[in-house]
Amino acid sequence: METVEMNSVSLKRPHSEDDVTNADEIKRQKISEKSETGNDSGQSVETVTGQPDKSLLEDTKNEIIPNEESEEQEDEELEDSDEDGDPESFADMMKHGLTESDVGITKFVSSHKGFSGILKERYSDFVVHEIGKDGRVSHLDDFSVPVDDEVNFEDPSEETFTVLSDEDKQRLEELQLLKNKETSVAIEVIEDTKEKRTVIHQAVKSLFPGLETKTEDRDGKKYIIAYHAAGKKALANPRKHSWPKSRGSYCHFVLYKENKDTMDAINVLSKFLRVKPNIFSYMGTKDKRAITVQEIAVLRITAQRLAHLNKCLMNFKLGNFSYKNHPLKLGELQGNHFTVVLRNITGTDDQIEQAMHSLREIGFINYYGMQRFGTTAVPTYQIGRAILQNNWNEVMDLILKPRPGAEKGYLVKCREEWAKTKDPAAALKKLPVKRCVEGQLLRGLLKYGMKNIISAFGIIPRNNRLMYIHSYQSYVWNNMVSKRIEEYGLRAVPGDLTLKGATAVHIEEGDVDNYTIHDVVMPLPGFDVIYPKHKIGEAYKEMLVADNLDINNMRHKIRDYSLSGAYRKIIIRPQNVNWEVVAYDDPRIPLFTTDLDKLEGKPLPVLPTDGKFRALKMEFSLPPSTYATMAIREVLKMDTSIKNQTQLNTTWLR
């Protein structure tokens, strides 16, 4: 899977009072909305985020936010509200986090002197644009909706979205999702005209796939009666009969999102559209703490319905709509284009020029970034190693035992209860909701018993489970590439591997002059992997032997946990590298315009020629499965771990 930077990890200086005030206002509004809906709130995953940041809500807080907010959104609200507001205590907690050297990231390839800078001080300092398989960079630059030759009942008028009251929508949603015993919902037609009845029919059928409607007279009044046409089966797909044959089955659109990862965004969109998330497809997952722009495809949802979400969702904008006959597939992209601002830099102009020229000409070591390994005192690779060793008691212990460092209060209480009682039911009671990894494992233990940890662990979603073993692969690879650079430097040597098509071949003595370091690949540990003929091959074996693993047989008795081999370039040279140094006085102002700024006609703030601070604005393109933070690390010659960055940012705040 292609991964883009800093998933749920904030490397930033805590915000100013204005930011905190704004965050408090957001929380108050969210709490108010929750109290109106009467929904319970809960918590989410075990990763650590930074302080709340300004969001798109500043521009949309007067718009209507429907009551049908998802449970996932409410979980995020609890997560946000539970964060420690004291930057120094947060930094103190992160003393137990990982550093780069803990996961094998130890070498640099450039010779310039490093300098300091703040990475992701604001999420808007990190912008990602997806590069499609045709080489086109995705941009949000058009909100218009394509016009069909055919009139389609699925295309609702603007009135469709407002004709139903919030109470009507709540009752219809409960009916659609079979959440109560009602077999129908009656909506009185206040203005009894054929046109008004038609709009209500359209609204129900467009907004609630699976429901059908009819008109009835009751006590001299007209009612629209909504009912299930096919029970639960009607929820699976929008009504197929209403889709024009001449229109492509998939609506492709560009999704612009702020401070949300891709799966969170898909879940929110699916909840508001009342469809299943699996009808959406995309080419790659994108970062949370960033502004990202990527292409999404959705099955048989009209552009008009999608465009309406721009009026009622925070942190998202949808545009550039088109209809096509195919979905999108993971991995089809060419890469991503990054626009990054490093604030409060200390480097001289000469140091910056040397650093950026080196990045453009030589590149950076293709390490797996810190977000691959988690942010707590129990790294994900340790859990992955225990899975590969078939040591399930250790897997359970590593996930559930108390750990030092940054943790939510309810997780701390849950772990303490587990350590004291080893009772899954008692520990589970300490969690507000059960969808975090710890909660899922405890539910599994409750269901299958303490002697069947494998089945209990299997309750955790597959992608989350595989994340652990992939983290171990990344940990081994990082250590081995550091050793390769230390042993042989920046040149191709006999015994190195290079790719010929999809096949890895050894570089022979007589051919070594035909290759550069940019041609060299190294294997990820897994079955059927060819290992180099020099010292690194032995180093791989020694590292895995020390972990009680056999490098020649990475098969696991559970097929999902068998590692497959792959090859990865050891040095990546970014494309389209550009940079400039700008001065600024106010840390809160943006230093470049986004796609949304351009669409809304917002000018870039006028920057002083001699400001108090300097920032390095850099742009570059990277292929899939490479980490922009590792490119930035090479420029700064700094540890990009949250542990180090938090200490740096707290110091600057003083």
Catalogue the active-site residues.
287
Q: Among all chains, which residue has been given the structure tokens 């206040």? A: 190
Phi and psi at residue 131, to the nearest 5°? -110, 115
Is the distance from CB of 381 to CB of 474 less than 8 angstroms?
A: yes
Give, for 173, the enclosing helix (H) or strand (E).
helix 166-176
Cα–Cα distance for residue pair 238/432, rounded to 1 Å: 34
d(CA 382, CA 385): 5
- Contacts for 162 with CB less than 8 Å, ≥ 6 apart: none
Angstrom distance (rounded) from CA 330 to CA 297: 12
C-alpha span between 484 and 533 (Å, rounded) = 12
* Residues in Cβ contact with 236 at an 8 Å cutoff, skipping those fewer than 6 apart: 276
Q: Checking phi first, is residue 430 left (phi over 0); if not, alpha (psi -120 to 50) or beta?
A: alpha
DSSP 8-state assignment for residue 654: -
Nearest Cα neighbor of 342 from 654, 4, 573, 645 is: 645
Per the CB < 8 A criterion, the answer to whether 438 and 400 are in contact is yes
Q: Do 439 and 433 touch, CB atoms closer than 8 A?
A: yes
Contact by Cβ (8 Å): 67, 58: no
Residue 455: count other Cβ atoms within 10 Å of its Cβ.
13
239 secondary structure, DSSP code: -
Residue 192 structure tokens: 């009894």
For the residues of 191-231, what is the DSSP string, one character each? S--HHHHHHHHHHHHHHSTTEEEEEEEETTEEEEEEEESSG
State phi, psi for 402 to the nearest 5 degrees. Answer: -60, 145
**Rounded distance between C-alpha atoms, residue 127 and residue 287, angstroms:** 9
